[in-house]
Structure 1
Amino acid sequence: MKTAILAYLAFGVTLFAAWLTHVIVTIKAAAWILLLSGAIFAPIGIVHGISIWLGYAWV
């Protein structure tokens, strides 16, 4: 039970960190449309953030 809670917590923190990466990168690049789309529809921001971590930046 405790392991499952920690796994869900780690997953949630990872998703939030990916979204935050998306926000920071799009603000620095002044990509306002991508910023708004990722802020309104979070999965876009999460996928973009993870792709930045992996080296496949869209911006």
Structure 2
Amino acid sequence: MPVLIGLAVFFAWLTHIIVCLKAGFWGFLIAGAIFFPIGIIHGFGIWIGVF
């Protein structure tokens, strides 16, 4: 179970990175890369359609 949670968190963060690169949101990209909870929340939000 902890491995699945870790994978979900990693892929949510990766989703944040990819979306920000494609959209050109450089400030948000750097913020999410340095302070990773921002990236994780944004990644999950993208998955469920909030962002």
Gaps of 5+ in 2: none
Please tell me whether Structure 1 or Structure 2 has the larger radius of gyration of its CA atoms: 1
- TM score, norm. by length of structure 2: 0.98
Q: Percent identity between the aligned chains?
A: 51
| Matched pairs, number | 51
Q: Which has the higher contact order (CA 8 A, sep 6+)?
A: 2
TM norm structure 1: 0.85
Q: Point out 4+ residue stretches in structure 1 off by more than 6 angstroms.
A: none
Aligned CA RMSD, in angstroms, stands at 0.3
